[in-house]
Amino acid sequence: MLTLEKFERASELVKEVTSPTKLVYSEYLSEQTGGRVYLKPENMQHTGAYKIRGAYYKISTLTPEEREKGLVAASAGNHAQGVAFAAQKFGCKATIVMPTVTPLIKVNRTKSYGAEVVLHGDVYDDACAYALDLAEKEGCTFVHPFDDLDIATGQGTIAMEIVQELPTVDYILVPIGGGGLVTGVATLAKMLNPKIQVIGVEPAAAASMTAALENGGPVTLDSANTIADGTAVKRVGDKIFPYVQENLDAVLTVEDDELIGAFLDMVENHKMIVENSGLLTVAALRQLDLKGKKAVSILSGGNMDVITMSSIVQHGLIQRDRIFSVSVLLPDKPGELVRVAQTIADAQGNVIKLDHNQFVSTNRNAAVELRITMEAFGTEHKHEIMKALEDQNFRPREVGAKLY
DSSP for 14-62?
Answer: GGGTPPP---EE-HHHHHHHSSEEEEEEGGGSTTSBTHHHHHHHHHHTS
Number of C-beta neighbours around residue 370 at 10 A = 21
- In the annotation, is 223 catalytic? no
Quote the strand ranges of 194-306, DSSP E.
197-203, 250-254, 294-299
Tell me which of 51, 58, 106, 382 is the catalytic residue. Answer: 51
At residue 356, the pLDDT reads: 78
At residue 358, the pLDDT reads: 66
At residue 4, the pLDDT reads: 97
At residue 308, the pLDDT reads: 87
- In the annotation, is 11 catalytic? no
Query: Cα angle vertex 186, ends 180, 188, to 5°?
Result: 100
At residue 319, the pLDDT reads: 92
Helix axis angle, 379-391 to 336-346, nearest 10° = 140
β-pair type (24-25, 94-98): unpaired
Every domain of the chain with CATH number 3.40.50.1100 lies at: 4-50+148-315, 51-142
What is the CATH superfamily name and number for domain 321-399?
A: ACT domain (3.30.70.260)
* Helix (H), strand (E) at residue 189: helix 180-192
Quote the strand ranges of 153-249, DSSP E.
171-175, 197-203
* Highest CATH level, class, for 4-50+148-315: alpha beta
Q: Would you say the pTM of this structure is higher than 0.85?
A: yes
Give me the phi and psi of 190, to 5 degrees please.
-70, -30
At residue 357, the pLDDT reads: 73
Which CATH topology does 51-142 take?
Rossmann fold (3.40.50)
Every domain of the chain with CATH number 3.30.70.260 lies at: 321-399
User: Mean pLDDT, 10 residues at a time, over the chain (404 residues)?
Assistant: 96 96 97 97 95 97 94 90 95 93 84 95 84 95 95 98 98 96 98 98 96 96 89 93 98 96 94 95 97 97 88 92 92 86 95 79 68 94 96 90 68
